[in-house]
Structure 1
Amino acid sequence: MMLAVSTPFGSSPEIERHATRWRANDTIARIWRKDPTVWSDPPVPEIADRLGWLDTHSTSRGLVEQISTLHTTAVSMGISDLVLCGMGGSSLAAEVFAATLPLAEGSPRLTVVDSTHPDTVRAVTSDTDPATTWYIIASKSGETIETMSLYRHFWEQASRALADPGSHFIAITDPDTSLQTIAADRSFRATLLADRDVGGRYSALTAFGLVPAGLIGADVTTLIDAAGGVAAQCGPDTPLEENPGFCAGVLMAESARSGMDKAHIIASSPTGAVGIWIEQLIAESTGKQGVGIIPIDGGPRIDGSQFSMLVGIGSAPVDDADIRITVAHPHDVAGMMFVLEFATAVAGEVLGINPFDQPDVQMAKRLAGQAMHGELDPIGLDPTNVTETVWVESLKRILAERPTSYISIQAYIPQTPENTSCLDALRWALSEITGAYVTIGFGPRFLHSTGQLHKGGPPGGVYLQITEDTGSDLGVPGTGYTFNDLIAAQASGDRAALADRGRPVVAVDLGFARDQGLREMLEQVRGMTQD
């Protein structure tokens, strides 16, 4: 394993100060004893039962043989595709592994479905054949509405095509969930149970990340070993000033305290895709109680910014990064993940928040449920058609009225290369005009990633929500709703949740002509002027 973490500050005053405090309180040993009072005394829920991530490099070894057997079976059966239905922590690590690790010869390719947009669901359905596809249904709670809606759809497709559809399904969930029951009742090929004591965003090295990785032919043991090696570096026997997780966590938290609350992630080969996973880890863990660290995944650098620190990751991280994580081998991505999990837990302690809960996520879910039943008051937040100039005038007014910390583009459209390219152009234009950092999130995916930060984190964000007419209905089998209903309700619910928190939202609708609408948005943004 070749992974190194360094900073240009050496042993900074902040690191020395917190190291002295931690030694006096025996904090590092208490963390490894899984003492929840490190973050809250008295302990509160979602700390004491969320510290299992500390030893996943040991506990997950029991999965290796079962994963290997599944991979061998998939190859022998000629399985060409894996469709992973999951949200947030149930899918992001798997997506990073698939983008980072080489696909072993003869192994199936992985497609992650974490969207409720009917066009996305139709595209995956069209591109895969149930006879040569395995479907991985991943949900910690076993009740995630997006995941279970996708399961219902793909189960119907498989049932129409196969005599034994259950043999093409794998469940990953916590013990005693409704998904475990469904898997047993419908004779799924396998059910892999996750550790109850590991929260979703810390679950990369559990079944949620390792099963998909193993099924594409990755060496799961090497991944676990990489994490184990770094865990030792973060352990109680390492001086705090040499502990990579401690040093990175202190620097991120103290930077946020001083006003440098952006962590701009510049990732390169072999770990160019890690930003999507880091976003959730940092945003959902620290963005609460009006404080937090705002992760910026890629996008334009704002040189000389007093509000951000650079996090460089890859085989040759950018030289001027404040935190440099050197990853020499693709499998060392697992070690990088453990370092950042530990750093995030450290940052939570320094910031005085619980890094394991997500107190503002439930509101958006509740309001989306009201929208599904027609019970949500739109309170003047209905989107403006892109052909009108009202939305861009609203955006200009909001930007002129208050200091802008960052702009969040929230697009409830399919995450295709073409749409990503259009949104990236919009991002660069907004950043150039405003001088602010701009993030991109596809809905509803980002609700399980950065959504907590948007509602509970530092003020100063401006939220640009993009919706569209999703076309002909695609029903969710066995329910009274469609995927169209679901994604529309999720957008409405999040608008209302942001408004409830006093966060400024500008909502624009592309109508039926998505490509034209995105081009029109870009033209209107380029025409903006700042007073």
Structure 2
Amino acid sequence: MTSVVTAGGVSVTMRGPVVDEAEAVLDRLVTDGVPASLMAKNAQLWGPEAVEEASRRLGWLDLPETSRPLLPELAALVERVRADGLDRVVLAGMGGSSLAPEVITRTAGAELTVLDTTDPQQVASVVADRLERTVVVVSSKSGGTIETDSHRRVFEQAFRDAGITGEDLARRFVVVTDPGSPLEKTAREAGYTVVLADPDVGGRYSALTAFGLVPSALAGVDVARLLDEAAALVPALHQPYDNPGLALGAALGASALGGRDKLVIADHGSGITGFGDWAEQLIAESTGKEGKGILPVVVEGPDAPGFAEAEDVRRVLLGARPEDSGLGVSGPLGAQFLLWEYATAVAGRVLGINPFDQPNVQESKDNTAALLRGAAEGEAPTVVAGEPALVVGAVEVHAPAELLRGATDLTGVLEAVVAAIPEHGYLAVMAYLDRFADAGAERLRPLLAQATERLRKTPAAVTFGWGPRFLHSTGQYHKGGPRNGVFLQITGESAQDVPVPGKPYTLRSLQLAQAFGDLRALRSRGRPAVRLHLRDRAAGVEQLLSALA
């Protein structure tokens, strides 16, 4: 059986069991009047406890129109920046402030350097590249994001060291933030250009706000087209039938209720680059709470390990109809942003959770702050690590003995990690490394997925995230979602460090504090977690890959 819902340039295809699963849920959503209520911004849709938060987080529904007044401002800003000879755009932002612009610019073939890390090697490399031609977009909804604040301080010092001061320095920064944030105050005092975003839109729903549009426009993208694409979908979202957003939301929610709570996402000719990473944050952070949730698993393609259908997996192909059972979604990027936001909000209602809060994110931040206070008092964050349980070449293994099961080499360690995954559970690989220089670490995901197929009766989902950016994404799911995850954290020695001007810590200290803070949060919840520390990054990554070969 096949069901195809097409409207506004978007198509959602359901095949096989997903049609039957979604049908009853879809009927209930229509009977409850959800499409009209959602488009009318009825905050009651997610229950009385969600009303306060939801009432302040539904502005994304209007963005195809309310973001249009930004366009002349952006055109003037682009003209000014180009006249200043600044043609390299660096975006300093985390989570919702960086993921959408990265998808937008990569899809358009425009150059944007995204800085969403505290890795000192990666930051130093970005700062050293074409500084004389660089404009920095500092993007933070709260205005207090510690990573972004550190990036701003590092770049300010780099410009001063290069002899760029006063008004010339001020013209190198564009700040995107919410009205009244601490960052707005700091930026205006410094004379930076400030673009205010819609405060009624949460970070992960902000693709079509200033957070998505400003850096993309500066990089040379036609952002008006994105708004046009999204606007074409809006009429269908009001309708009870022929509504792709409602159909997709019903399918996601019904699958999770039926036990298929792993959403494996693969691109198959969509023409959109990196969309899975953006969708990962939206879905995981919106649904992963109260012991419930949908876990997105972004894979390399339809033939990648981990894409096979399993009893706890729902597959979605981007850009093509599913070849057998599952979901297929196609359409232009602007419309897809709005489609998935709408569908995620609908899935939240189906699951009985508030899709607009993130109650478990703060704990890792608090742990990081505590460790940094210790560092400021002379206590290095490394003291938290303790002695390794095992050292193999360039790799230190930090884990409870009962989790390692007597392993004496890296193959044994990784097999013990896989063995610890419970039925219908998952493995999360979290790498606090340089995602460009240490990109080989991403190969661990498919290799570990193959290992689950080889060592278990049924394969298990394996995710991969770069730290600390996943803390603003799947980190909420890890701590608030179903208690069935096993966690493999990877940290590494850095060949260099970068001071954070005006702060008593360096980027290396901050990165370690974030890693240890999250590890502490996971272990405090009884989540099985292993930390692998690479004394030499290149050698350590190769050792891990070899252990899985």
Contact 2:13/2:321, CA 8 A, preserved across alignment: no
Instruction: Give 1:311 deviation, angstroms.
Output: 1.1
Match of 1:198 among 194, 201, 220: 201
| Structure 1 counterpart of 2:232 | 229
Moved over 6 A (4+): 379-383
Residue type matched to 1:518 in 2? Answer: V
Q: Do structure 1's residue 289 and structure 2's residue 290 form an aligned pair?
A: yes
Indicate the residue corresponding to 2:58 in structure 1.
51
Give, in whole Å, the separation in 2 of the partners of 1:380 and 1:356. 37
Give the conservation status (yes or no) of the 8 Å contact 1:386–1:517.
no
Measured in 1, the distance between the counterparts of 2:534 and 2:32 equals 55
User: What letter corresponds to residue 298 of structure 1 in structure 2?
Assistant: V
Counterpart of 2:419 (choices 394, 400, 422) is: 400
1:325 aligns to 2:325 (yes or no): no
Query: How far does residue 320 in structure 1 lie from its aligned partner after superposition?
Result: 3.5
Which residue number corresponds to residue 142 of structure 1?
143
- CA offsets per residue over residues 287-312 of structure 1, 9 Å max, x none? 11111111011142442422211111
- Mapped to 1, the partners of 2:250 and 2:174 lie a distance apart of 40
Q: Give the partner amino acid of 2:512.
A: A
Identity of aligned residues (%): 40
Deviations along 1:336-368, whole A, 9 cap, x unmatched? 111000000000000000111111100111111
Which residue of the partner structure matches residue 124 of structure 1? 126
Match of 1:61, SS?
coil
State the TM-score, normalizing by the size of structure 2. Answer: 0.88
Aligned match of 1:34: 41
Rounded Cα–Cα distance in structure 1 between residues aligned with 2:258 and 2:424: 17
Greater CA deviation, 305-314 or 392-401? 392-401
Contact 2:280 2:474 in 1 (8 A): yes
For 1:291, the aligned partner's letter is K
State whether structure 2 residue 19 is matched by structure 1 residue 12.
Answer: yes
Change in Cα spacing, 1:269 to 1:302, as seen in structure 2 (3 Å) is closer
Deviation at 1:259, TM superposition (A): 1.6
Q: Structure 1 residues 225 and 288 mapped into 2: Cα distance closer, same or farther (>3 Å)? A: same
Given the superposition, is the C-alpha separation of residues 385 and 40 from structure 1 closer, same or farther in structure 2, using an over 3 Å criterion?
farther
Residue number among 469, 480, 483 corresponding to 1:445 in the alignment: 469
Q: Residues 386, 71 of structure 1: CA spacing in aligned structure 2 closer, same or farther, 3 A cutoff? A: farther
What corresponds to 2:405 in structure 1? Answer: none
What is the count of residue pairs matched by the alignment?
508
Contact 2:432 2:491 survives alignment (8 Å): yes
Q: Contact 1:259–1:307 (CA<8 Å) still a contact in 2? A: yes
Aligned to 1:517: 540
What whole-Å deviation, never above 9, does each CA across 1:456-511 have from its counterpart, x for those lacking one? 11222211100011234311001111001100000000101111122110101001
Matches for 1:70-469 after TM superposition, within 5 Å:
70-103=77-110, 109-129=111-131, 131-160=132-161, 161-163=163-165, 164-188=168-192, 190-235=193-238, 238-240=239-241, 242-267=242-267, 268-299=269-300, 300-314=305-319, 316=320, 319-320=323-324, 322-327=326-331, 332-374=332-374, 378=384, 385-387=391-393, 389=408, 393-401=412-420, 402-403=422-423, 405-416=425-436, 419-420=438-439, 422-435=440-453, 436-469=460-493
User: Structure 2 vs 1, CA of residues 97 and 174 (structure 1 numbering), >3 Å: closer, same or farther?
Assistant: same
Superposed CA RMSD in Å reads: 2.2
Q: Secondary structure at the match of 1:325?
A: strand
Residues in 1 aligned to 2:299 and 2:18: alpha-carbon distance in whole angstroms? 27
Asked whether the equivalents of residues 286 and 348 of structure 1 are also in contact (C-alpha less than 8 Å), the reply is: yes
Q: Using a 3 Å threshold, how does the CA distance of structure 1 residues 19 and 257 change in structure 2: closer, same or farther?
A: closer
* 1:188-242 deviation per Cα after TM superposition (whole angstroms, max 9, x unaligned): 1x2111111100000000000011121122222211011111122211xx233x2
Q: Deviations over 1:355-394 (max 9, x none)?
A: 1111110011111112222388949696854536476545
**Cα shift at 1:250:** 1.1
After superposition, the C-alpha distances for 1:53-86 in whole angstroms (9 at most, x for unaligned) are: 1111111001000111112222333222011100
Separation in structure 2 between the aligned mates of residue 222 and residue 476 of structure 1, nearest angstrom: 39
| Structure 2: gaps (5+ residues) | 1-7, 397-407, 454-459
